[in-house]
Structure 1
Amino acid sequence: MSSTENIVDPHHDTLRGPRFWVGPIVVVAALMAALAYLYLGSMISPADHLRKFPMAIVNQDVGDVMPGSDARRNLGDEITAGILDGIDPERIDMQPMGISAMNSGLDNGTLYGAIVIPSDFTKRTSILAQASVVPGDIEKPIITVYTNPRTGTFGTNITQTIANQAMATVNATIGEQLTRTVEDTLATSAPDLQLSGGSRITLADPINVLTVPHKPLPDNTGAGLSAFYYTLLLILAGFTGGMIVNTMVDQALGFQPAEYGPRFIARETTHLSRMRVLLIKWGIMFVVAMIVSALYLWIGTALGMPFPRALLMWEYGTLAITAVGVTALAVVSIFGQAGLLVNLLLFIVLGLPSSGGTVPLEAMPPLFDWLSTFEPMHQMYIATRAILYFDGRGAAGLAHGVWMTLLGLAIGLVLGAVITMIYDKRGFHRRHDVPEVSAPIGG
């Protein structure tokens, strides 16, 4: 009897079982469904999910006497009260404050925009009403809407929408009051005079609303998206780089075979503990982080991207890539090949939509706001944005981002070290199980 007649393919029954075919299909379909829900659900209807969107209203008006009355009025106070009464405080957090606090909030990125009523608003409105029946040139009273382009294009658009709606109401209310005041004054003091059509149009729309960006971004910042994409690069360098380091080290040490085209190479497994192998991978990852962070700066500068705090950006980039890479390697060391799926969920699937880099978290469903409290990408985004757009201010998110990145690095180091040492002590060594093959009887 030939020895080959006694060899049974151990995978023959596996191929026939439904689990072999259904497993990959279910995992991939579930992952893609999660991607679709999270990515589309985070951005398709921001107006429906607006929640505590932070803006400021600054009233500097000192008031004046309006035509037809001896009493002083302060239209700025009336407009401020009207705007605050007309908005839902659960959706828009319109905060009355002074000009200094407003500038600080815009500089730190804690405000998406502001409405500023100047000190001479009532006076200019009074002059406009008087000039409606007197020949001569006149300027409309001005209200300025400040946007904050450094918080992103989406945040700017939401700010403009809110301000436009508020100013349309204010214009209509003030216009109606002015028209009625002038008509009443004319009826009393000059009944033979009538408002011209041009005057009526001017009084019906009396306020000149100016939209001004607060500290516009320089060129080559992608309209405020460069910080988000730079953060994405840091995440990918840590996550993808960690997986590449893991595979190449395991192949070189014989823990898994290597394939290069038709070549299949299975090296002899080295007798290194899990902990020693993980330390080797962490060391390589740190060197990779320093080099890749420098490469990002060099390539970005060559493309014209501004780096006002280049050294700080390199330092934080190195920290961020190291933290993600160390944690990703720890997860794979703990869960094995299933760790790739865990890393994908942690750093990419849940991280991208909750980063706040494209759509403000205040315009997303509460789920994403909750995810942002611990998801690495959001912490890295606010730190990167602070460095690139807000001069590296700690209050702009750098302090929080660095602290959370260090915390993530510490968690990765502790979990990876503790679990792999437990595996080593319990004898879960990484060895190939080679089954014993006995010669067939009569072979």
Structure 2
Amino acid sequence: MPTTEGVRGQDQVPQPKHLTPQRFLFPVLIMTFLAALLGVMYLDYIVDPQKNLHDFPIALVNRDEGDIQGQPGQEKRVNFGDQVAEGLQQAVPADQIDLRVLGINEAELQMRNAQIYGAVIIPGDFSKRLGILGVGSIVPGDIQLPTITLQTNPRTGIFATTAVERFGEQALDQVNQQVGQQLLATVRAQLAPPSGDAAPAPALSGATQIALERPLNIVIDQFDPLPTGTGQGLTAFFYALLLLIAGMVGAMIVHTLIDSALGFLPTEWGPWYLKPESAAISRFSTLLIKWSAVAGMSVVVSGALMIVANCLDMPIDHPLQLFLYGALVILAVGVTSISILATIGWAGLVVNVIFFVILGVPSSGGTVPLEATPKYFGWLSSFEPMHQVFLGVRSILYFNGSAQAGLSRGVWMSVLGLVIGVVLGVVATRAYDRRGLDRAVRAPEGQAAPVN
């Protein structure tokens, strides 16, 4: 009869020898690190954009031609537009707003190239209308309030538009009060009786005084409004994100499936498990196969995204540009992701997620302008792929494919990323191959090689 120990030994399930507590906790620590990094990056850029505001570009356009005012024989030339512009420059916090004094043509050019988020425009007849308002408070007649236009640039995004409107509410309201005080003092001086005249000065009606205290009509206008189907300027961000994810996730899928087909990874379909014999192929040749798959994928996926966008009635004025740029982005991101995986192995999954997504999305400037985020996001945006991709897509979708609006930067940075990815992959895999660091399965010393 078998002993109790023998029966117990047959019933015992063999435990994996390599699953130590340290290895069991390792993925938990990795995910904790990624979650903490995600929290810092995604919350820090959205918690308080107003506090983080810096170097936010807005144009100041003073077109006021001035006016000649005063009693006959005492006329003098005045330019209230200059006074308003000077007051606005003093009122605006220089550490938050980059107020650029521009002509109307330069301001429109910078609006079309996404270089400024809005403009304050003082019209040419500003002094004349302000003078008429002062006279009209004494002499009956029809008058119109002098107007200052606050132009937003909706193609730079909904948050930028909101920030410009908030700036207008604060800064222009302060200017309105200052102009009102000056105008009210001028009118009262005009109503004052001559020296030695005992008659009291005519009193201003309450309605007139209220009108004079805030004499400016602040008009908010959109420069080149967006068409419908653009998600208030968010489609560019999400399309860029789709291209980035397609390149990164597509590379990971290509990497896994080709390694599985070559026998370097097992293939599992539900309960079916297959581990074929590893192919006799170098790391460099494997890399070339994966790059070829990514190249084909980039063209097909870019076309598929174009079809989806068209079916959803998303406006695309330059479809060929968007298709070619999309294919370039997917190729560059995919090739680089594959090269990182070929260089450092499974750790490349973590590196790709951190580099392309965790650091890239909040520093893209696609939802919150970089001028409303902590300054280190601006540093990240100088090399993070997502920002470059967003600039290129936004230029094609909203700014007529203008090179100055970001397409030029988006293209050459994508090409640079592609070159870096190619160089990294070639250098790493060729170095491994020369040193004999192939991917063949070897048995531990003293044991026979495993049979596949």
User: Normalized against structure 2, the TM-score is what?
Assistant: 0.93
C-alpha distance in structure 2 between counterparts of 1:246 and 1:355, whole Å: 27
How much does 1:274 deviate? Answer: 0.6
C-alpha distance in structure 1 between counterparts of 2:94 and 2:83, whole Å: 18
Q: Which residue of 1 aligns with 2:56?
A: 53
How much does 1:26 deviate? Answer: 1.3
C-alpha distance in structure 2 between counterparts of 1:231 and 1:433, whole Å: 44
Q: Which residue of 1 aligns with 2:333?
A: 324
The correspondence of residues 394-433 of structure 1 with structure 2, limited to 5 A, is 394-433=403-442
C-alpha distance in structure 1 between counterparts of 2:69 and 2:377, whole Å: 49
Return 5+ residue gaps in structure 2 as ranges.
Answer: none
Q: Contact 1:67–1:130 (CA<8 Å) still a contact in 2? A: no
Q: Contact 1:67–1:129 (CA<8 Å) still a contact in 2? A: no
Q: Contact 1:286–1:322 (CA<8 Å) still a contact in 2? A: yes
How much does 1:205 deviate? Answer: 1.1
Deviations 1:131-181 (A, max 9, x none): 112223211001111100010011111111112211101110011111111
Q: 11, 23, 33: which is aligned to 2:16?
A: 11
How much does 1:121 deviate? Answer: 0.0
Q: Which residue of 2 aligns with 1:261?
A: 270
**Structure 2 counterpart SS, 1:188:** coil
Q: Which residue of 1 aligns with 2:164?
A: 159
C-alpha distance in structure 2 between counterparts of 1:364 and 1:323, whole Å: 27
Output the amino acid matched with 1:176. Q
How much does 1:25 deviate? Answer: 1.6
The correspondence of residues 342-361 of structure 1 with structure 2, limited to 5 A, is 342-361=351-370
Instruction: Give the direction of change, closer, same or farther, for the CA distance of 1:259–1:411 in structure 2 (3 Å limit).
Output: same
C-alpha distance in structure 2 between counterparts of 1:302 and 1:176, whole Å: 57
How much does 1:71 deviate? Answer: 2.0
Output the amino acid matched with 1:44. V
Q: Which residue of 2 aligns with 1:298?
A: 307
Task: State the identity %.
Answer: 44
How much does 1:9 deviate? Answer: 5.8
Q: Which residue of 1 aligns with 2:176?
A: 171
2:190 aligned with 1:185: yes
Q: Which residue of 2 aligns with 1:333?
A: 342
The correspondence of residues 178-257 of structure 1 with structure 2, limited to 5 A, is 178-188=183-193, 191=200, 193-257=202-266
How much does 1:267 deviate? Answer: 1.0
How much does 1:115 deviate? Answer: 0.3
C-alpha distance in structure 2 between counterparts of 1:433 and 1:260, whole Å: 26
Q: Contact 1:65–1:126 (CA<8 Å) still a contact in 2? A: no
Q: 89, 95, 109: which is aligned to 2:100?
A: 95
Output the amino acid matched with 1:322. L
**Structure 2 counterpart SS, 1:114:** strand
**Structure 1 counterpart SS, 2:173:** helix
Task: Please say which of residues 58-67 and 350-359 is displaced more in the overlay.
Answer: 58-67
2:156 aligned with 1:147: no
C-alpha distance in structure 1 between counterparts of 2:80 and 2:16, whole Å: 83
C-alpha distance in structure 1 between counterparts of 2:13 and 2:40, whole Å: 45
How much does 1:10 deviate? Answer: 8.0
Deviations 1:80-102 (A, max 9, x none): 11111122222211010100000
C-alpha distance in structure 2 between counterparts of 1:215 and 1:365, whole Å: 29
C-alpha distance in structure 2 between counterparts of 1:191 and 1:202, whole Å: 23
2:393 aligned with 1:390: no
C-alpha distance in structure 2 between counterparts of 1:335 and 1:208, whole Å: 63
Deviations 1:13-65 (A, max 9, x none): x44x4312321221111110000010000111111111111110000111113
Q: 116, 120, 125: which is aligned to 1:115?
A: 120
Q: Contact 1:67–1:181 (CA<8 Å) still a contact in 2? A: no
Deviations 1:322-378 (A, max 9, x none): 000000000000011110001001100100110000000011111100000000000
Output the amino acid matched with 2:34. L
C-alpha distance in structure 2 between counterparts of 1:312 and 1:374, whole Å: 23
Q: 128, 132, 140: which is aligned to 1:127?
A: 132
C-alpha distance in structure 2 between counterparts of 1:46 and 1:66, whole Å: 45
C-alpha distance in structure 2 between counterparts of 1:355 and 1:433, whole Å: 45
Output the amino acid matched with 2:85. T
C-alpha distance in structure 1 between counterparts of 2:280 and 2:442, whole Å: 14
**Structure 2 counterpart SS, 1:430:** coil
C-alpha distance in structure 2 between counterparts of 1:248 and 1:188, whole Å: 94
**Structure 1 counterpart SS, 2:277:** coil
C-alpha distance in structure 1 between counterparts of 2:140 and 2:110, whole Å: 43
Output the amino acid matched with 1:21. F
Q: Contact 2:42–2:362 (CA<8 Å) still a contact in 1? A: yes
Q: 33, 38, 48: which is aligned to 1:35?
A: 38
Q: Contact 1:58–1:99 (CA<8 Å) still a contact in 2? A: yes
User: Normalized against structure 1, the TM-score is what?
Assistant: 0.94
**Structure 1 counterpart SS, 2:139:** coil
Output the amino acid matched with 1:101. E
RMSD over equivalenced CA pairs, Å: 1.9
Q: Which residue of 2 aligns with 1:24?
A: 27
**Structure 1 counterpart SS, 2:192:** helix
Q: Which residue of 1 aligns with 2:83?
A: 78
Q: Which residue of 2 aligns with 1:64?
A: 67
How much does 1:66 deviate? Answer: 4.2
**Structure 1 counterpart SS, 2:93:** coil
How much does 1:248 deviate? Answer: 0.8
C-alpha distance in structure 2 between counterparts of 1:21 and 1:329, whole Å: 27
Q: 266, 270, 277: which is aligned to 2:279?
A: 270
Aligned residue pairs: how many? 434
C-alpha distance in structure 1 between counterparts of 2:310 and 2:428, whole Å: 41
Output the amino acid matched with 1:61. D
C-alpha distance in structure 1 between counterparts of 2:100 and 2:169, whole Å: 17
**Structure 2 counterpart SS, 1:264:** strand
Q: Contact 2:160–2:368 (CA<8 Å) still a contact in 1? A: yes
Return 5+ residue gaps in structure 1 as ranges.
Answer: 439-443
